[in-house]
Amino acid sequence: MKYASIKGTGSYLPEKIVTNDELAAMVDTSDEWIRERTGIHQRHRSADGEGTGQMAEAAARHAMDAAGVSPEDIDLIVLGTTTPDRVYPATACQVQARLGIAGCAAFDVQAVCSGFIYALGVAEKFIRTESATRALVIGADVHSRLLDWADRSTCILFGDGAGAVVIEASDEPGIMSSHLHADGRYEPLLYVDGSVADGYDAQSAGPAVTRMQGNEVFKVAVRTLGRIVDETLAANGLKRQAVDWLIPHQANLRIIQATAKKLRLPMDRVVVTVDKHGNTSAASVPLALDTAVRDGRIKRGEILLLEAFGGGFTWGSALVRF
């Protein structure tokens, strides 16, 4: 059995920045409320027509550059997204075509904010079982397109973006373990209106927008992420002191702080991008990872705990020797 190791990281953020003050001009909220309750100062919003596939391609190219590989070297593409450009074909297939390659497996996984962790866990298993040797793993979302701009409890939270890694077969770990979970009973707390069964158009099903009972989601997220920290450390026979960096899903600074507290990690060992990016859904973990790799905080050989929680509910983690 091989291990999978991360060879390169990349990301992409749309040019346009939306500040809290701009949102306060649209709904009854304030910069102060948003900063205090979420830690978000701003978020990026993709341009009209700039979809998940385009952003995913840009992040993937940056990751391949960092890894020193070209598209022809890739034999698997797994893309986490909840905002595919079309219901089908998969956005991973679109990215494959944009990269000018064909033949390798390419598919999307849909686990909302846990999308990248799910994609990484799946791709890792392909590599461990020697079904692939070099994979592009991408998380990309334009969650801004799934928002009710009159709902102040959701429209302030989300941003658009993409992040990617190249993982490769190796004799040494690498990804030490990955852990994926879901509990579909929580659908009423977090879902998008509308349904393919109803025809999926505005007239029959209403607009496809995010509906969330934020405070209920918050409580389950904190509890669940605490449990996944324990599970991940136990699976590797490690104590919490072994973790050099926490790279959490960036939904809310208070959720991130609670997980850091559980690990007793000081906040300067936690990668926080929620202030600048907001919640970019499947892109949030790889965007945070790439940010801290490129600014030199994360170094080769360090142990990283990646974790996420999102709609489904889904949640998961990966322990990585970088």
Residues in the site for ligand ACO, rule: CB under 6 A?
29, 33-34, 37-38, 112-113, 152-153, 156, 190, 214-215, 217-218, 221, 251-252, 255, 279, 281, 309-311
CA angle 312, 314, 317 (to 5 degrees): 170
Neighbours of 183 (CB within 10 A): 12
Closest CA relative to residue 187, chosen from 317, 310, 315, 38: 310
Q: How far is the CB of 282 from ligand ACO (least distance, A)?
A: 9
Active site (annotated) includes residue 249: yes
Q: How many residues make up the chain in this entry?
A: 322
Give the residue nearest to ligand ACO (CB): 214
Q: What is the dihedral of CA 292, 296, 299, 303, to 10 degrees?
A: -20
Q: How far is the CB of 33 from ligand ACO (least distance, A)?
A: 4
Q: How far is the CB of 254 from ligand ACO (least distance, A)?
A: 7
Is 144 buried (19+), middle (13-18) or exposed (0-12) by CB count in 10 A?
Answer: buried
**Which residue out of 155, 249, 252, 277 is catalytically annotated?**
249
Closest CA relative to residue 101, chosen from 129, 126, 73: 73
CA 244 to chain centre: 20
**Which residue out of 20, 62, 93, 113 is catalytically annotated?**
113
Q: How far is the CB of 268 from ligand ACO (least distance, A)?
A: 23
Taking the C-alpha atoms of residue 96 and residue 249, their distance in angstroms, rounded to an integer, is 26
Q: How far is the CB of 322 from ligand ACO (least distance, A)?
A: 25
Active site (annotated) includes residue 236: no
Active site (annotated) includes residue 113: yes
Q: What does the block give as tokens for 246? A: 């926490």
Closest CA relative to residue 227, chosen from 123, 309, 111: 309
Integer-rounded Cα radius of gyration of the chain: 18
Q: What does the block give as tokens for 71? A: 């598209």
CB-CB contact of 132 with 4 (8 Å): no
Residues recognised as catalytic: 113, 249, 279
